[in-house]
Structure 1
C-alpha cells in the first residue's frame, strides 16, 4: 500500500492499522439477476471499462474470470496531466479509478461481466464511495466502449432497478468512454502480488471468494497477469 493510499482511503488507515478489526460496514454480496438482454458481440477480443471504487479489487475480480485476457488498473475521465495516483486520490480531478477489461465474448459476454460486477465488485446504491473509500474518484460507473455495450448497460440497469434485489435506489451512472490512462506499475496486479496486505484481505479477497462461490463456472483459479 502506498503512503497516499494509507492516508487518503477514508477509514482504511484505521482498518489496516488495527489488523482489519475496525469495521466500516462491509459491502454486501448480491446475486444480481441474469441479463434479459444478452450482449450480441462479434468474434474477436473486446474491451470495456468499469469503475467500482479502489481499482485493486475491480482488477482482482475480473482477473479471475474465464475469458478475460487482461485487466488493467487506471484512470478515466480526466486529463493526461492529472493521470497520476497522487493527484487522482486527492479528489480534485475528473478521473475515477477504473479498470480496462479485455475479454473474449465467445467465453464471457459483456452482460455477464455486468452481472459479476454488480454481484461482487460494486454496490450500485452508493454514490461517490465504495467500501471504506470516499470521494468522487471512487464512484461506480459503467463505461461502455461500443454501441452494443451501451445498449446492454442501459437495459441491465433498468432491469436492476425493477428487480428488488437492492434495498436502495440504483445510482450507478453510464458515462461516455474517454481516454484511459494506465495506473503506475506498482498498482497493477496489486491483489495478486500482495495477498497478505490488510486492505486486500479485508476488502478485496472476499470479493474474489464471492466470485468463486456464486459463479464457479466462470471463476478461474489462475490469475490473468497484465
Structure 2
C-alpha cells in the first residue's frame, strides 16, 4: 500500500492512523529514503548582521521550511524560544486549512510561528539554525519527499529590522558559497499567520516513532544538539491545547 503524509492525515481518526502506519511503516520508510530522506545539516557561518539589542523579552519570527512538523520540532528545542506553533502563512484566511493548503494553490506555505526572548536567543541565531539544520534552503518548492509551493523555503519578516537581517544573511551565505547551489529562500511580506489544526501541533514530540518523523525529522534534532550545543535544550517547549 502506498501512503504519504496527506493520505495519512486525511483519516483524522488517530486510532485508524496508528493501525495503518504500523502496517505500512516499512514500505513508507523505504519510500522516504529513496526520495532522499533527511536533509543533512550544513555548517555555515553565523550572520554578520543581527538585530539590535532591545528591552523586549518577547518577539515573533515566521519560518517556512517544508513540512512544519520538523521545523516546529527543531525550534521547540531551542533555548530562548517560548512557543513554536505550526500553521500557515502567505495566503488568505479562508484557505488556511490543511486540506486546501495541501493542493498547493492557496499561496500558503507550511509555516512555524516562533515566539522567542531576544535576550536569550537573537533573530540572527534563529536564522542560523533555520538555514543550517532546519531545512535545505537550496531546494525550490520542496523539502525531502514533500513537493509543492506549500513546502517552499520562505521567511516572513515581522518588521523592517528582521527584513534587513535576513536579506543580509542570504546575501552573505550566497557570497561565501556556503552551499553548492544558490539559496532559493523567499523573503515574503504577507506574514499573517494562521495556526494549523490541533493534530499537527507537537507532532514530532508526540509521534517519535512515526516513520516520516524517524526518517526526515529526528535527524534534525540530533544535528541541532551536535552543531548548536549552546542553543539546544533537552526539554521541548510544547504547544498547550
TM-score (normalised: structure 1): 0.92
Residue-pair matches, total: 221
How big is each residue's C-alpha offset from its partner over 1:61-87, in whole Å with a ceiling of 9 and x where there is no partner? 000000000000001011111011011
Match status 1:211 vs 2:224:
yes
Please identify, of 95-104 and 33-42, the stretch whose mean Cα deviation from structure 2 is larger: 33-42
Would you say 1:4 and 2:6 are equivalent positions? yes
Query: d(CA) in 2 for partners of 1:120 and 1:85?
Result: 25
Is 1:43 aligned with 2:45? Answer: no
- The answer as to whether partners of 1:211 and 1:219 remain within 8 angstroms in 2 is yes
Gaps (5+ residues) in structure 1? none
**Whole-angstrom distance in 1 between the partners of 2:46 and 2:134:** 16
Are the aligned partners of 2:144 and 2:216 in contact in 1 as well (CA < 8 Å)? yes
CA contact (8 A) 1:46 1:103 kept: yes
Q: Distance in 1 between matches of 2:146 and 2:190?
A: 23
Deviating above 4 A after TM superposition, structure 1's stretches of 4 or more consecutive aligned residues are none
Asked if the contact 1:125–1:172 (Cα under 8 Å) also holds between the matched residues in 2, the reply is yes
- The alignment partner of 1:21 has SS state of helix
Where structure 2 has 5 or more consecutive residues not aligned to the other structure, the ranges are: 11-20
**How does the TM-score come out when normalised to structure 2?**
0.87
SS of residue paired to 1:106: coil
SS class of match (1:142): strand
- Structure-1 residue corresponding to 2:27: 18
Contact 2:140 2:153 (8 Å CA) reproduced: yes
Aligned counterparts of 2:187 and 2:7: Cα–Cα separation in 1: 26
After superposition, where does 1:78-93 map in structure 2 within 5 Å?
Answer: 78-93=91-106
Give how far 1:41 is off: 3.9
CA contact (8 A) 1:64 1:224 kept: yes
- 2:177 corresponds in structure 1 to 164
In 2, the alpha carbon distance for the partners of 1:4 and 1:165 equals 33
RMSD, aligned α-carbons:
2.0
Q: Is the 1:32–1:116 Cα contact (8 Å) retained in structure 2? A: no
Q: Matches of 1:163 and 1:135 in 2, distance apart?
A: 28
**Within the alignment, does 1:134 sit opposite 2:147 as a pair?**
yes
Following TM superposition, by how much is the alpha carbon of 1:149 offset from its aligned partner in structure 2, in angstroms? 0.6
**Distance (whole Å) between structure 2 residues aligned to residue 135 and residue 19 of structure 1:** 19
The CA distance in 2 between the partners of 1:205 and 1:192, in whole Å, is 10
- In proportion to residue count, which structure has more helix? 2
